[in-house]
Amino acid sequence: MTFTGKEILNLGFEEGKEVALAIEIANTLLDTQDEEVVNIALKRVLEKPESFMEDRKWAALANQLIEKNNVDPVIELNETPVDLEIFGQEHIEQGALDQIHVASKLPVAKSAALMPDAHQGYGLPIGGVLATDNAIIPYAVGVDIGCRMCLSIYEIDPEIIEEKEAMLSKMLNRNTAFGRQTVKNRKDHEVLHNDLFSEIPLIKGLKEKAASQIGSSGGGNHFVEFGIVEIKTLSTELGLEPGSYLALLSHSGSRGLGATIANHYTKLAMQETKLPDEAKHLAWLDLNTELGQEYWLAMNLAGDYASACHHQIHERMSIGLRTRPAVMVENHHNFAWKELDHEGKEVIVHRKGATPAGEGVLGVIPGSMTAPGYIVRGKGDPRSIASASHGAGRTMSRTKAKNTLDHEEVNKFLADRGVKVIGSGLDEAPMAYKDIDAVMACQQDLVDVLGSFHPKIVRMCGDKGFFEVD
C-alpha cells in the first residue's frame, strides 16, 4: 500500500505543503510499520502538532502544521454594504465606483461617500470618504498625508499681475521648490521640534529629511500660483468687500515625511489585518492598540508639517509683496478626523482627496491651470459625511495625457486664456481634468460658494524644459 494525496486529504489535512510532507513521511514509515499504525499517527499529528515538535519522525510535519495554523485568518467582507452616497456618478470612472463599494463592506465601516471628482487610487479611491468604528486605515488616509490647499488674499489691485508679471514670476521661481528640490536658505519651524521626533523610532529617523524639505512642495499636481480672487457679495466669513483681489494659492502635502509614514504603517496594518485581495490595501489599525495610536500621532505630525510648509511659502511671498494677507483660507485632505455621526457617535472619518465641509467650515476647491477654483463654506450634509470634492478630478491619466496631448496645442490653450505656466508638463495640462463647474453643480447641497480664484501665473514641478522660464 502507498499513501496518496487523496488518502491524506481524507484524513482531514488541507491542501498545502503539509500534504506532500505527510505523504513522504507516511510512505517511509510503511517500510517498518503497519498502515493502520501510520494512519493513527497521522491523525494525532494533525490534531495536536505541538506534541510532535521534538519527534524525530514527525517534527517536520508538525512544524509545518503549526506554522500554517499561526497564520492570521483572512477577515471576510460584509455581504451588505453600509450606507453609501455617490455624488455625480456620471462623472466617475468604474474603477473608483468598484473601490468605494468594496470599502463600504469593511467590517469596521459605518458609512461611505464618493465625491464627483473621484477617480481610482489604491485602497480607497481618490475622492472617497469612509467613516469607521475606532479603526484607522493608513491607505484610506493616503500617501501624501495632510495634503492641503492654502489661499492668501491680499488687498492689492490684481492689475499688478499684468503690470509686474516678470517680478511675480521671479518671486515664484526664487521662493518655491518642487519634487526633489529643496528651498535655499530654509527656515526652522516649531513643528521640527515636536517631541515625536525623539519618541517614535521611525519619526526620529525622518527628522533630517523633514528639515531639509521644509517649505517646499511635492511634484505631480502640486503648485504655487498667483491669481485673481473675485468676491461677488459681502462675505462675513472672509471679511472682504465685493471686488477683485490679488491672491496666492498653493497645493502640496507632507513630502517625504508623510510618504514614509504612510508606507511604513500600511505595511504593518496589512500584517495585522488580513483582508481579501480586493480589499488588502484597506487594512486597518485598531485605535485601542499601541500601534494604532502611534500611527494616529504620526499622521497628525505629518499634517502639521504640511501646514508649516505652506505657511513658509506664503510668508516668503508676503515679504516679497511687502504686505500681509487680508485673509488666509486653508483646508486639507488625505487625513482622518474624529467626528460625530448623525447618531452622535464618534467615528473616524477618512477623507482621501475630499474636502472637509462641515457646517460653516471654509475651504478651497481648485479647478485646473485655466479653470477657476472656488472658495466654499460647508453645509455639513450628513449624506456626504460633511465632505465635498477636493478639486475637479482627473479625466485622463498622466500616461494618457503625455501620450495624446500636443505641446503646441496646450501652449496655445494657455495663451488664449492669459495663463502663464512655469515648469509643468503635459500630464498636468488643463485637458487632463474634468469640468470644474460640472463637478461643482453636483455638490450644491454640500457647499456654498463665497468667491472664485482664477489662476494667472502657475508654478509647478513637471517636465524639465517644458513651460520653463528664466
Owner of C-alpha cell 497645493: 251
Asked if residues 354 and 379 have their Cβ atoms less than 8 Å apart, the reply is: no
- Segment 300-315 shows an average pLDDT of 98
- Measured between alpha carbons, how far is 184 from 58 in angstroms, rounded to an integer? 66
144: three-class secondary structure by DSSP: coil
pLDDT tens digit sequence for 94-142: 999 999 999 999 999 999 999 999 999 888 999 999 999 999 999 999 9
Instruction: Give yes or no: 390 in active site.
Output: yes
Confidence at 206, pLDDT banded by 50, 70, 90: very high
Question: How much is the pLDDT for 2?
Answer: 83
Backbone phi and psi for residue 270, each to the nearest 5 degrees, phi listed first: -70, -25
Query: Is pLDDT of 468 > 50?
Result: no
All CATH 3.90.1860.10 domain ranges in the chain, comma separated: 139-460
Judged against a pLDDT cut of 80, whether residue 403 lies above it is answered with yes
Q: For residue 286, what are the β-bridge partners?
A: 135
Per the prediction, the chain carries an average pLDDT of 93
At 338-356, the pLDDT tens digits run 999 988 999 999 999 999 9
Please name which of 360, 367, 387 lies closest in space to residue 453, comparing C-alpha atoms: 367
Identify the active-site residue in 251, 350, 390, 454: 390
pLDDT confidence of residue 70: 73
More confident residue, 250 or 70: 250
Q: Taking the C-alpha atoms of 267, 268, 272 and 275 in order, what is their torsion angle to the nearest 10 degrees?
A: -20
Is-contact 332 310, C-beta < 8 A?
no
pLDDT of residue 71: 64
Per-residue pLDDT, averaged over 42-68, amounts to 89
| Three-class DSSP category at 244 | strand
Helix, strand, coil percent values for the chain (each to nearest 5): 40, 25, 35
Nearest to 53, CA basis, from 62, 40, 64: 62
Name the residue type at position 106: L
Domain 139-460 has CATH 3.20.20.10: no
**Most confident residue range from 54-63, 283-292, 404-413:** 283-292
Rounded mean pLDDT, 426-434: 93
462, pLDDT greater than 90: no
What average pLDDT does range 393-406 have in this prediction?
Answer: 91
Average pLDDT over residues 283-301: 97
447-460/420-422 β-pairing: parallel
Contact between 257 and 209 under an 8 Å Cβ cutoff? The reply is: yes
Cβ atoms 252, 308 nearer than 8 A:
no
Distance between first and last Cα of the chain: 85
Q: Answer yes or no: are the C-beta atoms of 448 and 359 closer than 8 Å.
A: no
314-344 residue pLDDT tens: 999 999 999 999 999 999 999 999 999 988 9
Residue where the block lists cell 490679488? 246
At residue 470, the pLDDT reads 27
What was the pLDDT predicted at 467?
Answer: 38
**Residue 66: which pLDDT band, with cuts at 50, 70 and 90?**
confident
Q: Using CB atoms within 10 Å of the CB of residue 55, give its burial: 0 to 12 exposed, 13 to 18 middle, 19+ buried.
A: middle
What grid cell was written down for 416?
Answer: 488664449
